[in-house]
Amino acid sequence: MPPRSNRRITLARRPDGIPGPDDFALREVPMPEPAEGQVLIENLYLSLDAAIRSWMKPDCSYFPPIALGEPVRSTTLGRVVASRHPDFKPGDHGVAYACGGWEDYSVVAGESLHRVEKRPGFPLHYHLSIFSAMGLTPYFGLLDIGQPKPGETALISAAAGAVGSIAGQIARIKGCRVVGIAGSDEKCRMLVEELGFDAAFNYKGKNTEQLSRDIAELCPRGVDIFFDNVGGEILDAALLNLAMFARVAFCGAIGDYTRSGPIPGPYHYWQILARCATVRGFLTLYYKDQFPAAIDEMEGWLKSGQLKFSEDISVGLESTIPSFAKLFTGENRGKLLVRLQQDRA
């Protein structure tokens, strides 16, 4: 039996810059009841994703903005505790992609809950890290949009982050020369020495011209694939270094999420025409039908040691807000998760 009340973190006001404690409220509310077609899940883990910051803006472009006073929308891994949907029964596990919340329990539509089961040899919560957006986003972005070929050069921004570190390793697996961009010398060292990147450089304190020089030096034959997580000046510098027929996988723009007002640039947009390049945005959720096959392939790479990743897991709902801020200060060391309950699967 679930308890009679539910703890949740609601959006108290629209953040300016990096979200802090005053932007949220921790509330205790009556336990919600699932209506016909819905299920009640106990959230075991919350996935802290950069995109959540963009949903806090009033003009979020691809999902409705999170309303003030409402729980912060999030992807969560949950255990079903009550079901009014024919496909789920208590004890089942599922991932609520972008429809759970920063709360102990969530009510979600049964059709939006993606059933998951523990894969032998891997903990259940990998369905919120490497077998979820962290792994699937670079998998589809790099393979479907990047179309990597052996010997090509792949450039990755936010390369030491959850998504970027996997994008670079998949490009390596496919035989590319891989160059990473990250926010500290220590992260750059880790990319080369631990994850097998061919080179990496620190973007901090550099303008477009300096960034462009660094890219030109490390990618002398031009950039065939740019996997962009950041936007802004890094995107502009990459555009200046595209090889002919380059592919740009537009994965995210974390540099813009904490900005208010009009977003500047990209100023070197014209290079897309000059290099006959393809720029494609994508949302991982639209590949949902292909998730099982992608996870099978990534499982193989994990077992063979070709793919490495790390998780940055905090414990308890109260840890959510300080942990979330780490995405924008660069303090996270791997996929950010919050553990609310032990998974006993």
The answer to whether the beta carbons of residues 173 and 301 sit under 8 Å apart is yes
Which residue among 167, 230, 242, 243 contacts ligand NAP (CB under 6 A)? 230
Q: Which of 35, 21, 51 is nearest to 284 (CA)?
A: 51
Q: Compute the least distance from the CB of residue 183 to ligand NAP, in Å.
A: 3
Between CA 157 and CA 164 the distance in angstroms is 7
Q: Compute the least distance from the CB of residue 4 to ligand NAP, in Å.
A: 34
Q: Compute the least distance from the CB of residue 328 to ligand NAP, in Å.
A: 5
Q: Compute the least distance from the CB of residue 252 to ligand NAP, in Å.
A: 2
Give the residue with the Cβ less far from ligand NAP, 49 or 198: 49
Q: In what order do the strands lie in the sheet with 278-281?
A: 199-202, 177-182, 153-156, 223-228, 242-250, 278-281
Assigned token pair, 341 = 């309950």
Which residue among 80, 183, 241, 340 contacts ligand NAP (CB under 6 A)? 183
Q: What mask of x and - would describe binding to ligand NAP in positions 128 to 167, judged by CB under 6 A? A: -----x---x--------------------x-xxxxx---
Which residue type sits at 185?
A: D
Which residue among 128, 327, 337, 338 contacts ligand NAP (CB under 6 A)? 327
The answer to whether the beta carbons of residues 166 and 138 sit under 8 Å apart is yes
**Residue 179 in contact with ligand NAP, rule: CB under 6 A:** no
Number of H helices, E strands in the chain: 10, 15
Cis ω for the linkage preceding 64 (within 30 of 0): no
Give the residue with the Cβ less far from ligand NAP, 18 or 31: 18
Give the residue with the Cβ less far from ligand NAP, 148 or 252: 252
In the 3-class helix/strand/coil scheme, how is 12-55 assigned residue by residue? CCCCCCCCCHHHEEEEEEECCCCCCCEEEEEEEEEECCCHHHHH
Q: Compute the least distance from the CB of residue 47 to ligand NAP, in Å.
A: 8
Give the residue with the Cβ less far from ligand NAP, 116 or 163: 163
Give the residue with the Cβ less far from ligand NAP, 45 or 88: 45
* Residues at the contact surface with ligand NAP, assessed by CB under 6 A: 49-51, 133, 137, 158, 160-164, 182-184, 187, 229-230, 251-255, 282-284, 327-328, 330, 332
